[in-house]
């Protein structure tokens, strides 16, 4: 009871720490160096996160609206800066932060340089090549989701898919999506999906957060695991301002988990519209073909109607053809032979046309209508 009587309230403890920090003259005019990992410019002020990657330490800072115009430098994520400010306590959350009055640039931060090196090396290997991107299936029936089981992203994706197509089969591959264990966990989850071999597409998702919270999606193990997937991968990581290396290697990237689900699963309304469009295209094609065939049929009808008018010409053509046929038959040597005549030929094949070119003893071949005979001339009659 005595210990309890000497206890202080949360507000009392907070007031004590606040007064200790804000009464310390060193902490009211202090220069701090660090790497900018987040920089969010809001109406009320510029909110920063400064990190010390070597020690894995971070501190929040704010430049209130009226002070932004006096800054010598406006920071960007990834650069090293020195900030001048005072330490204060945000009582509502029990967090200390720097109230910044000036910022000076010191160059790119170590973390940003490391990330750029990894990005350049993987790009040189072709992992970000747009030609390697796989198209999404038009109407997938089985989708794999890789995210944390307790994350809001998991619930958002389930609700979105359920609303758009309740018949979709979801395979959940849980993974840690923040912290030191996250890269290995994400890579292992992707490997499990590949080994299962049922999913047609994979969604890798996580809600927004500070840049340091998304560091696992810049890890080389995760990047290579995505690149090795035989099915398309859609990333829905963070918000619009965040882009990770996982986004660059993924086949499709959107800004939120909900947007990822919407991209993968077409809505029932969209599918109905697609069906109507396909039906309309089919009807137009059938109508075009019907019109073409109708025109062809009409052409044939017109030709049929013109046949009586062409009859005299056809009859005359038939008569002329018969005359030509008879003339050709009369000129046919075989027709002459049929009438009892023969063709006399010397042994060399020359046709004999005059008797005065022959002498007794000559051998001739007589070609008849049916077969040939060999003859020898014994006598020649004088010409009449």
pLDDT range class, residue 151, cuts 50, 70, 90: confident
pTM summary value? 0.53
* The pLDDT of residue 213 is above 60: yes
**Alpha carbons 259 and 187: distance in angstroms, whole number:** 22
Count other C-beta atoms under 10 Å from residue 41's C-beta: 12
Report pLDDT for 100: 92
**Alpha carbons 375 and 363: distance in angstroms, whole number:** 6
DSSP of 85-107: EEEEEETTTTEEEEEEEEEEEEE
* The pLDDT of residue 212 is above 80: no
- HEC profile for 18-52? HHHHHCCCHHHCEEEEEEEEEEEECCCEEEEEEEE
**Alpha carbons 97 and 62: distance in angstroms, whole number:** 8
List the domain boundaries for the chain: 2-113, 140-269, 336-376
Is 140-269 a CATH 3.40.50.300 domain? no
Which one has a higher pLDDT value, 203 or 274?
203
Tens digits of per-residue pLDDT, 178-189?
888 999 999 999
DSSP of 119-148: HHHHHHTTTT-GGGPPPPPSS-SEEEEEE-
Report pLDDT for 263: 93
Pick from 341, 204, 175: which is nearest to 263 by CA? 204
Which residues, including other chains, have CB under 8 Å from residue 106's CB and lie 6 or more apart?
A: 33, 79, 80, 81, 82
Report pLDDT for 5: 59
According to CATH, what is the number of the domain 2-113? 2.40.50.140
Q: Are 196 and 96 in contact (CB under 8 A)?
A: no
**Alpha carbons 215 and 235: distance in angstroms, whole number:** 15
What percentage of the chain reaches a pLDDT higher than 90? 34
**Alpha carbons 3 and 5: distance in angstroms, whole number:** 5
Report pLDDT for 131: 92
User: What rounded mean pLDDT belongs to the chain?
Assistant: 85
Q: Cα separations (Å) of 147 from 172, 196, 200, 221?
A: 8, 17, 17, 16
Of 165-169, 306-310, 325-329, minimum mean pLDDT range = 306-310
Mean pLDDT over residues 231-242, rounded? 81
**Alpha carbons 130 and 21: distance in angstroms, whole number:** 53
Tens digits of per-residue pLDDT, 11-33?
888 888 888 888 888 888 888 88
* The pLDDT of residue 334 is above 80: no
Report pLDDT for 262: 93
From the number of C-beta atoms within 10 Å of its C-beta (0-12, 13-18, 19+), residue 248 rates as middle
* The pLDDT of residue 75 is above 80: yes
Sheet hosting strand 343-345, strand order edge to edge:
343-345, 363-367, 372-376
* The pLDDT of residue 1 is above 60: no
* The pLDDT of residue 331 is above 80: no
Tens digits of per-residue pLDDT, 288-312?
999 998 899 888 888 877 776 666 7
Q: Are 22 and 86 in contact (CB under 8 A)?
A: yes
What percentage of the chain reaches a pLDDT higher than 70? 93
19: tokens are 């007064």
């Amino acid at each position: 009871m005595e210990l309890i009587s000497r206890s202080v309230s949360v507000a009392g403890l907070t007031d004590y720490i606040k007064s200790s920090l804000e009464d310390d003259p060193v902490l009211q005019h202090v220069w701090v160096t660090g790497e900018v990992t987040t920089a969010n410019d809001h109406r009320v002020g510029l909110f920063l996160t400064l990190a010390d990657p070597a020690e894995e330490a971070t501190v929040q800072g704010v430049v209130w609206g009226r002070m932004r115009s006096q800054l010598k430098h406006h920071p960007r994520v990834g650069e090293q800066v020195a900030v001048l400010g005072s330490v204060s306590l945000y009582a509502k959350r029990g967090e200390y932060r720097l109230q910044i009055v000036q910022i000076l640039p010191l160059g790119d931060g170590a973390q940003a340089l490391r990330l750029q090196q990894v990005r350049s090396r993987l790009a040189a290997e072709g992992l970000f090549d747009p030609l390697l991107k796989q198209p999404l299936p038009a109407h997938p029936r089985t989708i794999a989701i890789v995210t944390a089981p307790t994350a809001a992203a998991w619930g958002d994706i389930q609700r979105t898919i359920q609303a758009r197509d309740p018949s979709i089969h979801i395979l959940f591959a849980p993974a840690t999506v923040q912290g030191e264990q996250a890269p290995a966990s994400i890579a292992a989850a992707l490997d499990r999906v590949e080994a299962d071999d049922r999913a047609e597409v994979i969604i890798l998702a996580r809600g927004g957060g500070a840049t340091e919270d998304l560091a696992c999606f810049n890890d080389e193990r995760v990047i290579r695991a995505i690149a090795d997937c035989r099915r398309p991968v859609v990333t829905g990581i963070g918000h619009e301002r965040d882009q990770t290396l996982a986004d660059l290697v993924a086949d499709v990237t959107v800004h939120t988990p909900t947007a990822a689900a919407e991209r993968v699963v077409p809505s029932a309304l969209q599918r109905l519209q697609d069906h109507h469009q396909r039906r309309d295209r089919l009807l137009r094609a059938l109508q075009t073909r019907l019109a073409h065939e109708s025109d062809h049929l009409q052409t044939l009808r017109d030709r049929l109607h013109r046949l009586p008018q062409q009859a005299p010409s056809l009859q005359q053509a038939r008569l002329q053809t018969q005359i030509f046929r008879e003339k050709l038959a009369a000129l046919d040597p075989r027709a002459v032979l049929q009438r009892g005549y023969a063709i006399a030929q010397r042994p060399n094949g020359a046709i004999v046309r005059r008797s005065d070119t022959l002498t007794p003893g000559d051998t001739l071949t007589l070609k008849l209508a049916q077969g040939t005979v060999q003859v020898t001339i014994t006598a020649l009659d004088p010409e009449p």
